[in-house]
Structures are given as C-alpha cells and as structure tokens.
Structure 1
Amino acid sequence: TSDLDGCILITSDLDGSILLTSDLDGCILVTSDLDGCIQPTSDLDGCILVTSDLDGCILVTSDLDGCILVTSDLDGCILATSDLDGILTTSDLNSCILVTSNLDGSILVTSDLDGSILVTSDLDGCILVTSDLDGCILVDSDLDGCIQVTSDLDGSILVTSDLYDSILVTSDLYDSILVTSDLDDSILVTSDLDGSILVTSDLDDSILVTNDLDDSILITSDLDGSILITSYLDDSILVISDLDGSVLATSDLDSSILTSDLYGSIVVTSDLDGCILGISDLDDSILVTSYLDDSILVTSDLDGSILVTSDLDGSIVVTSDLDDSILASSDLDGSVVVTSDLDDNILVTSDLDDSILVTSDLDDSILVTSDLDSLVPSV
C-alpha cells in the first residue's frame, strides 16, 4: 500500500501479516515477518525504537534521539544498554557484561566472555574492582584510587584499605581478620581463623606482641621486626633471635634449650632433661649427638663425615674417617661386624662370636669365608 508520492505505507504478504509500515516521509514504523513478530519500530524522525527477530526477542531499543537503550541477539541476551548520553552496558552473545559506563562515559564494569568482572570504576574513572576470569575480586578502590579490597582467586578478602591506602583488614579464605591497621599503615592486630590476636604492632610497623588464644606471648620483636622471644602457653621460650633474625635459642614447653649462631646453624640441642642432643659448627655439620643417658650417637668433624656412631648402651656402631669410609661397625655387644679401609674395601666381617665370615683385600676379592665354627678358604 503506497501513498500518492510513492512512499510505502504497508506491505503485506499473502496471509495479510504486516511486513513494513511507513509514515508519509518514508520513516519505517513497523516491520513484521510472516508470523507477525515485530522487527523494527520507529518514531516519526526515523529513530529506531524496537528491533525484534522472528521470535520476538528485542534487538535494539532506542529513545527519541537515537540513543541505544537495549541491544539483544536472537536469544534475548542484552548486548548494549544505554541512557540518553552514553552506553551503560555492553554484553556479548551470551549476555556476559563487557562494558558498563555511567553518564560521562567512564567505565563502571569490564568483563570477559564468561561474565567475570574485570574492572569496575566510579564516575571519575577510578578503579573500584579488578577481578580475574572466575569473578574473584582482586582490587577494590574508592574515588581517589586507594585500594579497598584485594582478593585471591577464590574471592577471599586479602587487603582492605581506607582512603589513605592504609591497610584495614587482611583476611584468609574464611574471611577471618588477619591484619588490622590504622590510617598510617601501622599494623594493629593480626588474627588467625578463630579471631584470636596473633600480632600487635605500634605505629612504626615493628611487631610488639603476638598472642594465641589465651593471650600468652608468642612473639616479641624490637623496632626493626627481628624476633626476640617466642613463647608457648606456659611462657616457655621457643625462639630468641638477634637483630638479623638468626635463631639464638629455641626451647620447648619445659624450657630445654636449642642454641644457634647468627647463620642459623645448630650450636647446642638439648632434650627434656638437659642432655646434649647436638653440637654443630657454623656450616651445620654435626659435632655431637647424644641420647638421654649421654651415650654418644654421632660425632662428626666440620665436613659432616661420621666419626663415631653409638647406640643406647655406648657400643660403637660405625667409626669413619674424614672421607666417610667405614672403619668399624659393631653390634650391641661390641663385636666387630665390618672393618673397612679408606676406600671402603671390606677387610673383616664377623658374627657375634668373632668368627671371621669374610676377609677381602683392597680390590674387593674375597680371601676367606668362614661359618661360625670353621674357616673355609675361598679364592
């Protein structure tokens, strides 16, 4: 159907469904397919109001000045939503938000294809939220760009900051408070999963006190953060450290002493009754190791080679020179089991009654093999 100047007003197919409706100046008002679904709807100045596919899903919705309000694909997913001045939301085919903007065009939300938030910004473009692909919050900032929240991949809060970037709260996976800070970034409280205080610090970030559930002191530190004292529930000393963090003394619940030099090598180790367990030089080689009755277990020189190894009754098990070659091995009653020269050749092997089992020369060839009561030569 056409008016006098040839402008198409209505075009219909054989079953009477409207295909195209136009006003006098040719602006398209309505376009419909065979089943009557609205395709475009326009006002008098040609601005598109509604565009729909065959199943009625909205493709484009616009106000009078042509600003796009909604853009959707065939399945109705929103592609773009805009107010009168700019784009508010942009989405891909599966309705994941790609870009959301406020009136001045600053980005509010940026997302990848799976809908996880990448960037959220306020009106002045400051980043509010930065997230990885699974939607976990990485960075949350206020209007001046200060970090508010930093989170790991599972969305647990790691850092919360006020306007001055000072850390307010740091939390682990269960959102329990780990760090609380005042405005100048000094740590005030660090807590474990049940909210118990772990660290209390003064204004210059030096750790003052670390507490467990019953407020017993766990860590006391000087101004540079080096650990001075670590204590258990009964205030027994666990760790004493100098300024560079090297362990000076470590104690268990009954105050038995472990002493270390500046490099962390063990100098003295004591068990519950004060017996020496280990004495070590600077390179961590064991000098003396003892059991509860002070019997020598291991004696080593500076290069870590074993000199003497003893069991509980003091019998010698292994004696070695500096190159770790076995000199003597003994069972509990002191009988020689293995005797070797410097190149580890077996010289004598004996059972409990000292009868010779194997004697070998320097090239490991067997010279004598004996059972318990007789010698049987063997070449």
Structure 2
Amino acid sequence: MATVKKHYSERAWIEGSSEKQLEEVASLAGILSVSGFPDLHPGKNGPVGMAATATRLYPHLVGNDLGCGFGLYDLGIPVRKLKVEKAEERMRGIDFSAPDDAAERLAAVGLPSDLYPSALGSIGGGNHFAELTCVDETFGDTALGGNVMLLVHTGSRSLGTAVWEHVLGLSDDIMAGLEASSELGADWFARHDQCVVWAALNRRLIAETIADALRGDCETICDVPHNLVVADTAEGETVYRHYKGASRLRPGESAPVAGSRDSLSHLVRASGTAASDFGIAHGSGRKKDRASMHSRNGLKRSEREALQRTQFGGRVICDDNTLLVEEQASAYKNPRHILDDLVAAGLVEPICSLRPIVTYKKASETDPAAQRRADERKKGRDRDARR
C-alpha cells in the first residue's frame, strides 16, 4: 500500500468516507504516493481533493470533466468605476453559446476544428461559475489590486463526458487502470490531453464574452486545471500524476483557491509542492451534500432572494432554484481554514484574498435582457453576412 500524505489539520472537516477512499486509491496497483488536501470530500469514483502518483493510468480517478480548472483574468476595469447593478444586468444578458469562429479557435490551439465546437463558450452547472472579483486583502508584494478580475470555473463539458464513455465502453475493468503503453491507454491519454486544451480554451472564450459585455480587457493572470493526469519523470522513470479537485502547481506558480459565492477566495503561490505530488487544494470543498441542502432553506421566496445577495454587497445570478440552494455558502468549508492548512503544510504562500462582486451561475432562458442581446448578435451576424 502506498504512502498516504494528509496535508490538513483536524479542523478541515474531513469525512471518514473520504479518507477511506484515499486508502483505496493507495491500495491500487502501481500507486506510489497519495496526497489528501483540506478540501477533501467523497466522490463518485474516488476522493475529490487529492493527488496520486502512479506507474499506470487510472481514468476513474479524474472522471469525466477532464481539464476542469480555474482561469483568472484582469479585465482592466478599475474597481472604483464598476457599477455593480449595471454589471449584473449586462452579465444577465449574455448568451453563453459557441462563437461563430469556434472551428477557427479550435484549430488555433492545435485541436481538430470539429471537436465539439458547439459546446464551446458554455459554463455548465454544478459548481461551475464565472465571477467578477477584486482584491480584498494583500499578503506581501503583488502587482494586483486596482482592477476588477474575472474568475472562471469550468471544464471540457460534453467532450469530457464523451471521452469517459468511450473508455468505459472499451475497458473490461476501468478500476484496474490502464497501461500507458497499451493501445487503449495511449488513446485515452491522447483524448485526455485534447480535453485539457479544450477546457482552457473554453474558459478563455467565456472570459472574452464577459469582458466584451462589460467593455473591458481580458488579460490572463493564470489558468490552472485541477482534473487531469500529467506525465512526469521521477528517478529516471515515467510516472503519472493524477489530480482530482487538486490544482497541479510547480513551486513558483500561482493559482486561485476558490471560496464559495459568499466568501473570499485566495490567490496563492506554490512553494513546497514537491511534498504533495505537486498538488494543492483547488477550493473550499463541500462539507454537506447537495440533497441535504434542500431541507435547510431556500424553499421560500424570501430565502431564495436572500441567497442572491452576499455579505459583501455582491450579487448572485442564478435563476435555477435547485442550483441556488445546493451551491449556497453553507454547503462549503471555510476557505480561510483551507488556506491556513495549505500554508501550515508548507505548500503555498498567500498572495491576496479575492472578494466576490457578481457571481454568474445560470440566468433564465426567458430573461428579457438575454433575449435582447441574442437578437442584437443575430442582427449583427446577418449584417456581416450581407456585406
């Protein structure tokens, strides 16, 4: 059984079932080491909030949303000039759909032009979101501070699902893993790599769409996936590092550690990640499952309206009541505790905390502003076609 390294304290709210899943991962053939992070919680096919180094490929450990991660962008809009109500209105009016040049954008990043172009530009459900944010507090020197930033969390959408179903259909026992040199192993890993690139492009397109709606710029600060496998060399041998709900970071690289829509997120710089399979926590991590949240609140109109406002005076765009209730802040762990545990473990140094301004989850398809903007885009395309 491989070594299980626990990079968290007693106050991390770790369920026993998720630690059992860590041990199950450690017992798999070819697993060399396993790291658990303070956002650790149970997952369907394995724990979320972990990294594992192996001599084999284990598709089930990273699941279907391959390449899912965070993109952080500087919009070039001074925080003091942002009108929150206007920003909320414009974001509500966005039609998150594939751009007209989706095929060209895919080709530009080295992907086939017909690789799920219609799914590009979409955020998705669950814990995916796009959030206007700004620096709340700095920890040492940083060039960030005055501008509105955008944090985008999404992945490979229907492409990742198709890759997962493809390998399930061809593997006799996916839980046993794949030899990287086998035909199926090489095929899955190549498709996986496409998903990682596709997901990064998807985040970029979403960021450009929001920046355009707000008449801002779109400068990438960082883009870090947290559902992937990376081939590394260790002691002269090739190993495969698996990350599920864990950001892959080399020392000196930075990444967001996301809070909930009603709590601070943090931007950190990796320091001692060689001790953690080069992984860190990607966010707060759930402490209550989705089903249990429906018995707590959100059933009354007044409660739902309260969930669309934050303690910071921010706004939440989420017209899906189920999603609004399941993704409320009380479902997640305290992000400051996550940060403190990562720092105490010597894995990261904090750069700054990020305060949510407007969080986009899902707007109504019948929203008048959304329909108006969609009509305007269609008119623009029609004009271009006639020229």
Normalising by the residue count of structure 2, what TM-score does the alignment of the two structures yield?
0.17
**Which structure carries more relative contact order (alpha carbon 8 Å, separation 6+)?**
2
TM-score between both structures, scaled by the size of structure 1: 0.17
Q: Which of structures 1 and 2 has the bigger CA Rg?
A: 1
Where is the helix percentage greater, Structure 1 or Structure 2?
A: 2
